[in-house]
Amino acid sequence: MSHAEQASEVSEQHGLTVRQYLMIGAALTVITIIELAVSYSDLGSAMVPILLALSAVKFVVVVAYFMHLRFDSALFTRMFVGSFLLALAILVALVSLFWADSHTLPLK
Amino acid sequence: MAHATAGHAPAHHRTNTGTDNRKLLMWFFLGSECLFFGSLIATYLIFKGDSVVGPFPHDHAGEKGILDIPVTSTSTFVLLMSSVTMVLAVYGAQHGLQKMMKLSLLATILLGITFLGFQTYEFRTFGHEGLNLGTNIFGATFFVMTGFHGTHVGVGVIYLSSLLLASFRRSGLGPEAGFHVETAGLYWHFVDIVWIVIFTVVYLIPT
């Protein structure tokens, strides 16, 4: 078996091919350009949810494919998703608790 | 032979989780980093739009916003591309492709340094325009959050540089090259996803 064949076989077990990684990189770039276009457009109240959704797509793609979470042990996925959800819960709790206060306290 | 097998799935000690404890530790660390950056981003969001004196991040009451979106978009693209080169370095290491691994690691390091250059330029520009940690609540939350992220990028550059230097030894990165580069890659990609969030929250979403 040639070296290239060995490499291809192993990539199937552990991740994607070089071409697929490059295509993902291109897709991430396109999403970033769309984000920029959205931020300069006048979409009103729809702008923030769209930007957050696009950002979430990029986040998930990098974690799943570049960090190999999709192909790796489910234990890592549970650990990372658990930590991320905990961080998200803390973020929501802090913003909910202090948002009103920050608008009434005298700030610089 | 060593060339062909170098970097394939590391033969780690048997563990009751069935995974390599060192990799598990890296994921634990990244989990804790989620909480760290989550708190910093929450703090930024709580005080977003609360500054009563300028400079303001976005256009405010006829005053032009201080954030330079095109410049930061370029630095975001640079960091995104560094993730692509990083994953190619991991691919090279796991498949015993030494030249690909070294070149990709070098590219990742250079892109990381370029990102830091953009951040230094941004910080200096803000300083010249009168924005620093004590100017207003935007300056305080912005510099702490992006400063910590930049520090993480700097640590990543040192981490990858040490791997690149070690790969030039006679024994290279050893039989676990794929594991070492993959673990470093996890850290680097995490730094990238943190920036994906910061870029959206700070730069793209207006006050």
Cβ <8 Å between A99 and B69:
no
Chain B nearest CA to A55, separation (Å): 6
pLDDT for the residue numbered B176: 82
B101 assigned to some structural domain: yes
Task: Please report which confidence band the pLDDT of residue A105 belongs to, taking 50, 70 and 90 as the band edges.
Answer: low
Q: Which two tokens stand for residue B27?
A: 């994921």
pLDDT for the residue numbered A25: 95
pLDDT at A106 exceeding the cut of 90: no
Q: What is the pLDDT of residues A34-61, one digit of tens each?
A: 999 998 888 888 889 999 999 999 999 9
Cβ <8 Å between A25 and B84:
yes
B40 assigned to some structural domain: yes
Task: Please report which confidence band the pLDDT of residue A1 belongs to, taking 50, 70 and 90 as the band edges.
Answer: very low
Q: Which two tokens stand for residue B178?
A: 């794929």
B135 assigned to some structural domain: yes
Number of independent structural domains in chain B:
1
Q: For B120-142, what is the mean pLDDT?
A: 92
Cβ <8 Å between A52 and B38:
no
pLDDT for the residue numbered B18: 78
Q: For B96-107, what is the mean pLDDT?
A: 94
Chain B nearest CA to A4, separation (Å): 9
Question: What DSSP state is assigned to residue A62?
Answer: I
B191 assigned to some structural domain: yes
B9 assigned to some structural domain: no
Q: Which of A64-78, A79-93, B1-15, B122-136 has the lowest mean pLDDT?
A: B1-15
Q: List, in order, residues 6 or more apart from B186 with CB less than 8 Å away.
A: A67, B23, B26, B27, B30
Q: Domain ranges in chain A?
A: 1-68, 73-108
Task: Please report which confidence band the pLDDT of residue A31 belongs to, taking 50, 70 and 90 as the band edges.
Answer: very high
> Which residue type is seen at B195?
W
Q: What is the pLDDT of residues B161-172, one digit of tens each?
A: 999 999 998 877
Among A35, A76, A94, select the one facing B27 at the smallest CB separation: A76
Q: What CATH number did the domain enclosing B40 receive?
A: 1.20.120.80
- Which of helix, strand or coil describes residue B14? coil
pLDDT for the residue numbered B149: 97
Cβ <8 Å between A7 and B86:
no
- Residues of chain B found within 8 Å of residue A30, distances taken between Cβ atoms: none
pLDDT for the residue numbered A9: 45
Q: What is the pLDDT of residues B13-64, one digit of tens each?
A: 677 877 888 899 999 999 999 999 999 999 999 888 877 787 888 877 777 8
Taking each helix axis as running N to C, give the angle between helix B177-198 and helix B137-167, from 0 to 180 degrees, rounded to the nearest 10. 160
pLDDT for the residue numbered A107: 56
Question: What DSSP state is assigned to residue B201?
Answer: I
pLDDT for the residue numbered B4: 41
Among A10, A66, A73, select the one facing B83 at the smallest CB separation: A66
> Which residue type is seen at B129?
E
Q: Write down the mean pLDDT value for chain A.
A: 83
Query: CA end-to-end span of chain A, whole Å?
Result: 68
CA dihedral of A10, A14, A17, A21, whole degrees rounded to 10: -160
Give the separation between CA B9 and CA B77, rounded to whole angstroms: 31
Q: What residues make up the domain containing B86?
A: 18-204
Percentage of the residues of chain B whose pLDDT score is greater than 90: 64
Length, in residues, of chain B: 207
Per mean pLDDT, which of A1-5, A104-108, B153-157, B174-178 is the most reliable? Answer: B153-157
Cβ <8 Å between A21 and B88:
yes
Looking at per-residue pLDDT, the higher value among B10 and A61 belongs to: A61
Q: Is the ipTM of this complex over 0.90?
A: no
> Which residue type is seen at B154?
G
Q: What is the largest CA-CA distance in chain A?
A: 72
Q: Write down the mean pLDDT value for chain B.
A: 88
Task: Please report which confidence band the pLDDT of residue B5 belongs to, taking 50, 70 and 90 as the band edges.
Answer: very low
Tell me the helices (H) and strands (E) count for chain B, helix number first: 6, 0
B11 assigned to some structural domain: no
Nearest chain A residue (CA) to B81 = A25
Cβ <8 Å between B200 and A18:
no
pLDDT for the residue numbered A108: 55
Of B153, B20, B42, nearest to A72 by C-alpha is B20
B6 assigned to some structural domain: no
